[in-house]
Amino acid sequence: MYLAAQPGSLQLTQQGQLKHFLTTEGLPKTLLTRILDHTESFLGVENKKVKNAPLLRGKTVMTLFFEDSTRTRTTFELAAQHLSANVMNLNVKHSATSKGESLLDMLHNLEAMSVDMFIVRHPESGAAHFVAQQVKAGVSVINAGDGRHAHPTQALLDMFTIRKTKGAFEPLTIAIVGDIQHSRVARSQIHALNTLGTGEVRVIGPKTLIPHALSQFNVKLYHNLSRGLKDVDVIILLRLQKERMSSDLLPSKHEFYQTYGLTAEKLKLAKPDAIVMHPGPINRGVEIASDVADSDQSVILQQVRYGLATRMAILSMTINTQDKQLFSEEARTS
Amino acid sequence: MTSYHTTKPEHIDLETAIADMTKQLSDYLTQRQFKPSLLVGIQTGGVWLAERLAVTLNPHSPIGSLNISFYRDDFTQKGLHPTVEPSQLPFSIENKHVVLVDDVIMSGRTIRAALNELFDYGRPSSVTLAVLIDLKANELPIKPDFVGLNLNLKPGQRVKLKGPKPLALEFNEPII
């Protein structure tokens, strides 16, 4: 599918505000930092008796998931509801696309129902960009994961978790471990970590699961877990997707655990206060030992909690720029 | 209008104004049997003023602070404001008497937003509004119960509270 030459350009207004949120690639540091700052504010919403803020009141948000997801879809749905939006979930597998309606036709039909924002997950890389190019002005598109390309809201909630627990990015050494080849999360994380000025980004995994092109992204490659984990501040594990295990890229689940699984013993190689992250859902005994997942160093559940606030921040930042555009167009015509 | 200022800037005595306001507020809260009251300031100037009022009114209770940016009615035009601190109410306001405090009241829109947010935290028994400076430019049916100073500014002129210690007024242009 088509990807814009400048991947960041489609998602920004002329004033540099987010109008879609499709990828972390090409987004300036100031904007990423602003998302993290707003996330901090939205964390406070959960202390209220009424856990809502009225920012998206009267707006209609539709989740459009062409691929299974529990956590991402529910946190997006909750985030939109906490912002007082009207939320609809479309399970595309059970919709008209199975009757042969094209994605484009479906999109235009949904637009006719006055949807203000689409949250899109799709197995093909570039799908969210495609949707963003097709929607009419004033409609925002959020990428909730497209193929192997990007999962920017996950990356931002991870950045928030790191900043919340570790502070500044500059002094940190951060290791991403596992199947990088098929991971949209890893790609989005690497762009964000580099933009935010992380001291050192390491990527650890078997040769078959690390793309060659990665070396141009200012990361250090390791194929040995023990060496790669030495003195790191943050360990980000990736989920080993079951469909990869049956392929010839990996010998076996057991062998992956032996070589790249994070055990308590391996964790000791990192700094004593290192944190362990995972986008979930975790495979205990595959990429992470059960006791590590439940240890004090694990921030996996904090990630889920922060994910809600991060998505509230991103939703309210994007929907608003669309309004402003409309506003200025109206102003010009009146 | 002949006089721009109900109180002339050169005559502003902030400390006396705060002291007078505190006394009136305290008497009122006693008379209405609204004591003890919880003080909630609107960020950032309102929080500083609430801290000052608390010394007399409720020295043993923490101060609540509201960041009303999620409740502003100009969100669709101006977007999210650069964030200050998130709201923090370190107590339950349910069935409590609340004194809402801000530094300056102009249109009343900030207070409208603050009341909406406050009620998302619970149902207070009462809310009393105390504001240091009233610019008498209300656009909504909201008027402060207690005011330190009434000022009448020229168009385009702005005033805000500087602090936290000492508290002082800052005008966006020199006042002659």
- Whichever domain contains B58, its CATH number is 3.40.50.2020
Determine, for residues A323 and B77 on separate chains, whether the beta-carbon distance falls below 8 Å: yes
**Residue A108: pLDDT band by 50, 70, 90 thresholds?**
confident
Query: What's residue A326's pLDDT?
Result: 46
Q: In this complex, is the C-beta atom of B44 within 8 Å of any C-beta atom belonging to chain A? A: no
In a domain, B58, yes or no: yes
Distance from CA of B38 to the nearest CA of A (A): 17
How do strand B159-162 and strand B168-171 relate by DSSP bridges?
antiparallel
Query: What's residue A327's pLDDT?
Result: 45
Phi, psi angle pair for B151, to nearest 5°: -120, 150
- The whole-angstrom separation of Cα A318 and Cα B154 is 37
Q: Which domain holds residue B150?
A: 6-73+92-171
Query: What's residue B74's pLDDT?
Result: 83
Query: What's residue A166's pLDDT?
Result: 97
Identity (one letter) of the amino acid at B150? N
* B120-151 residue pLDDT tens: 999 999 999 999 999 999 999 999 999 999 99
pLDDT, mean over chain A: 88
Determine, for residues A45 and B70 on separate chains, whether the beta-carbon distance falls below 8 Å: yes
Distance, CA of A40 to chain centre: 17
Over residues A155-165, mean pLDDT: 98
User: How many domains does chain B contain in total?
Assistant: 1
* A29-84 residue pLDDT tens: 999 999 999 999 899 888 888 889 999 999 999 999 988 888 899 999 999 999 99
Lowest-confidence range among A19-23, A103-107, A147-151? A103-107
Residue corresponding to tokens 């167009």: A329
**Residue B156: pLDDT band by 50, 70, 90 thresholds?**
confident
- The whole-angstrom separation of Cα B92 and Cα A47 is 11
Phi, psi angle pair for A87, to nearest 5°: -115, 135
Q: Decide if A121 is catalytic.
A: yes
Q: Which residues contact A286 (CB under 8 A, 6 or more apart)?
A: A240, A253, A256, A257, A261
- The whole-angstrom separation of Cα B49 and Cα A215 is 55
Query: What's residue A180's pLDDT?
Result: 92
Determine, for residues A50 and B120 on separate chains, whether the beta-carbon distance falls below 8 Å: yes
Edge-to-edge order in the sheet of strand B37-42: B64-66, B37-42, B97-105, B126-134, B146-150
Q: 3-class SS at A223?
A: coil
In a domain, B60, yes or no: yes
In a domain, B82, yes or no: no
Decide if pLDDT at A121 tops 50: yes
Determine, for residues B86 and A323 on separate chains, whether the beta-carbon distance falls below 8 Å: no
In a domain, B157, yes or no: yes
Decide if pLDDT at A306 tops 80: yes
Q: Which one is catalytic: A59, A121, A122, A311?
A: A121
Between A36 and A331, the higher pLDDT residue:
A36
Q: Decide if A161 is catalytic.
A: no
In a domain, B48, yes or no: yes
How do strand A60-65 and strand B97-105 relate by DSSP bridges?
unpaired
DSSP string, B2-66: --S-SS-GGG--HHHHHHHHHHHHHHHHHHTT--SEEEEEETTHHHHHHHHHHHHH-TTSPPEEE
Of B79, B116, B120, the CB nearest to A321: B79
Percent above pLDDT 90 for chain A: 66
Q: In this complex, is the C-beta atom of A38 within 8 Å of any C-beta atom belonging to chain B? A: yes
* Residues of chain B contacting A37 with CB distance shorter than 8 Å: 82-83
* B11-40 residue pLDDT tens: 788 999 999 999 999 999 999 999 999 999
Q: Which one is catalytic: A94, A99, A212, A332?
A: A99
Distance from CA of B154 to the nearest CA of A (A): 27
pLDDT, mean over chain B: 89
Q: In this complex, is the C-beta atom of B26 within 8 Å of any C-beta atom belonging to chain A? A: no
Q: In this complex, is the C-beta atom of B121 within 8 Å of any C-beta atom belonging to chain A? A: yes
Between A1 and A31, the higher pLDDT residue:
A31
> pTM for this structure?
0.87
Over residues A80-94, mean pLDDT: 88
Decide if pLDDT at A9 tops 80: no
Identity (one letter) of the amino acid at A55? L
Q: Decide if A93 is catalytic.
A: no
DSSP string, A2-41: ---SSTTGGGB-TTS-BS-B--STT--HHHHHHHHHHHHH
Q: In this complex, is the C-beta atom of A318 within 8 Å of any C-beta atom belonging to chain B? A: no
Q: 3-class SS at A249?
A: coil
Over residues B150-155, mean pLDDT: 86
Query: What's residue A40's pLDDT?
Result: 92
Identity (one letter) of the amino acid at A84? S
Determine, for residues B79 and A320 on separate chains, whether the beta-carbon distance falls below 8 Å: yes
Of B69, B76, B121, the CB nearest to A49: B121
Query: What's residue A246's pLDDT?
Result: 62
In a domain, B139, yes or no: yes
* B57-69 residue pLDDT tens: 999 999 999 999 8
Of B77, B83, B121, the CB nearest to A41: B83
Over residues B94-118, mean pLDDT: 96
In a domain, B78, yes or no: no
Q: Decide if A263 is catalytic.
A: no
Lowest-confidence range among A30-39, A135-144, A162-171, B154-163? B154-163
Query: What's residue B73's pLDDT?
Result: 85
**Residue B10: pLDDT band by 50, 70, 90 thresholds?**
low
Distance from CA of B71 to the nearest CA of A (A): 6
In a domain, B33, yes or no: yes
Walk me through the domains of chain A, giving residue ranges and CATH numbers: 7-150+305-333 (3.40.50.1370), 152-300 (3.40.50.1370)
Which 8-state DSSP code applies to residue B88? B
Confidence check on the interface: ipTM exceeds 0.85, yes or no: no
